[in-house]
Amino acid sequence: MRKDNREALLAEFFEVSQVMTRAWKQSHFALLDEAEVTLSPAQAGVLFMVEHHNQQSGQELAHKLHISKSATTQLLDGLETEGYIARKTSAADRRVTHIVLQDKGYEMLQLLKAKRQELLSRITHSMTDQEL
């Protein structure tokens, strides 16, 4: 493949991926609004991360999310205030605090997963198996 063809294809791919990302986000936000979800995308991401890596510290979360410790603390404070997560002191080391999901956090994750599945179904319902 010639270099100029390759670059043109890459540029087109990049443009299409940006359009798809914008469409996904707009659809996602619309579904969350329909469900009256009051979490920010960042807060929802933290809930998914806590579910996947339960009982980790705020510092570990910050590292995995690639955000600052102070930004992580702000997100966790909001989630804790709303009852989605709790901070538990480690039995092994009292200096360490682990983040754990509360029942309300699990319930929200179930709603978010259902809405994500609904969005994927809306997007893919008219696609053929080959297109998928």
For residue range 84-104, what is the model confidence (pLDDT) as tens digits?
A: 999 999 888 888 899 999 999
Mean pLDDT within 10-14: 87
What is the C-alpha separation between 129 and 17, in angstroms, rounded? 21
> Of 25-39, 52-66, 98-112, 115-129, which one has max mean pLDDT?
98-112
Higher pLDDT residue, 21 or 92? 92
Q: Which residues contact 100 (CB under 8 A, 6 or more apart)?
A: 50, 54, 55, 85, 86, 87, 88
* Number of CB atoms found within 10 A of residue 76's CB: 22
Mean pLDDT within 35-49: 85
Whose tokens are 């992580």? That residue is 72
